Amino acid sequence: MTATKTVAAQPTVSVIVPARNEEACLGTCLESLAAQTGVPLEIIVVDDHSTDRTRAIALSFPAVRVIEAGPLPDGWTGKNNAVVTGAREARGQWLLFTDADTVHLPGSLARALAEAQESKADLLSYSPAQIAVTFWEMATLPVVFAELARQYPPAKVSDPNSPAAAANGQYILVKREAYDVVGGHAAIAGNILEDVALARAVKVSGRKIRFRYAADAVRTRMYRNYHQLRDGWTKNLALLFPHPGRLAMKTLLFWGIAGAALSLALVTRAKQWPWDTVFVGAFIFLTTRLRRAKFTSDMTFLGALFGMPMFAYLLLRSKRAHAKNQVQWKGRTYSDKAGLLAAGR
């Protein structure tokens, strides 16, 4: 009897998860990825110099390959260094870059691959459903994502005839050939907003990208407390919006009109000027403005009342941090001049 050597099937998709001190969420993420069916895949976790149980959690999954991110080169962000390390080891025809704070619904990877192939997209990115638990998560996220939907309309991003380009780094499925042609994350090594930069590079190369909200595929809880939320959006907002100062002032103006109308309605009780009607109209305008973020009604209500001034504060904080080259995230300090130049500032 001749022994038969078993050869592992070539993966169609290589899932790459960069992880730096992610013990709070990595296990749930890997459980959801390991349970995916319908497509040959490999899962690679890149441990980005974690000091908690991240590596041990990843090693507890037999189907997961765990590798170490190399030393951080000068001018690179930690995430770009980690995903480049993972991509170098990946064998799949497609690469899925996804964050450790994501949870993938059953069968979502096979459906995403089919969607990319049917739409002839070289890059498919999903904006996950956002899980919010604390007060500031519930109040702030509807405002942020409503403005993101306004700045980066998925229909325009997905239109080859539009210059608009965007992606959400929590879920980027990209064809390996397209990734290599544009230089991958190594070509945008110092860019803090690596997801948008990668999408822009793919679209400029003449390849198609597809971007949509995907509560049917993936969900995430981005930040677990106020300080994480503050620092995370401080890192990103000034790069996501072309004129963060103007947007902050406009947001405060809209919110202030509604607040002033409510104050006058409560104080004056004047019959000659219906301040209560003005307030109701202004509040309806605010909630309508936030509705495109696809959050629940109670979160939209909180966003209109409390999230708008918080969003304005975060915009100004982000603008100041980038101007001073003091962007801090997960124990590292970054300067993203390339990102600011690309954003036109």
Residue 341: band (very low, low, confident or very high) from pLDDT cuts 50, 70, 90: very low
Q: What is the pTM of this model?
A: 0.89
- Across the range 176-181, mean pLDDT stands at 98
- What pLDDT, on a 0 to 100 scale, did the predictor assign at position 294? 87
- What pLDDT, on a 0 to 100 scale, did the predictor assign at position 261? 60
- What pLDDT, on a 0 to 100 scale, did the predictor assign at position 104? 98
Share of the chain above pLDDT 90, in %: 78
- Give the Cα separation of 110 and 123 in Å (integer): 15
For the chain, give every domain's residue range. Answer: 13-128+168-224, 240-327
Residue 263: band (very low, low, confident or very high) from pLDDT cuts 50, 70, 90: low
- What pLDDT, on a 0 to 100 scale, did the predictor assign at position 269? 59
Does residue 2 register a pLDDT over 50? no
Whether 237 and 251 have beta carbons less than 8 Å apart is answered as no
Highest mean pLDDT among 56-65, 252-261, 303-312: 56-65
Digit-coded pLDDT (tens) for 297-306: 999 989 988 9
Which of these CATH numbers, 3.30.460.80, 3.90.1150.10, 3.90.550.10, 3.40.30.10, describes 13-128+168-224?
A: 3.90.550.10
Digit-coded pLDDT (tens) for 214-260: 999 999 999 999 999 999 999 999 999 999 999 999 999 888 777 66
Between 127 and 324, the more confident residue is 127
- What pLDDT, on a 0 to 100 scale, did the predictor assign at position 262? 59
Digit-coded pLDDT (tens) for 100-141: 999 999 999 999 999 999 999 999 999 999 999 999 999 999
Whether 186 and 84 have beta carbons less than 8 Å apart is answered as yes
Whether 64 and 16 have beta carbons less than 8 Å apart is answered as no
205's tokens: 């190369």
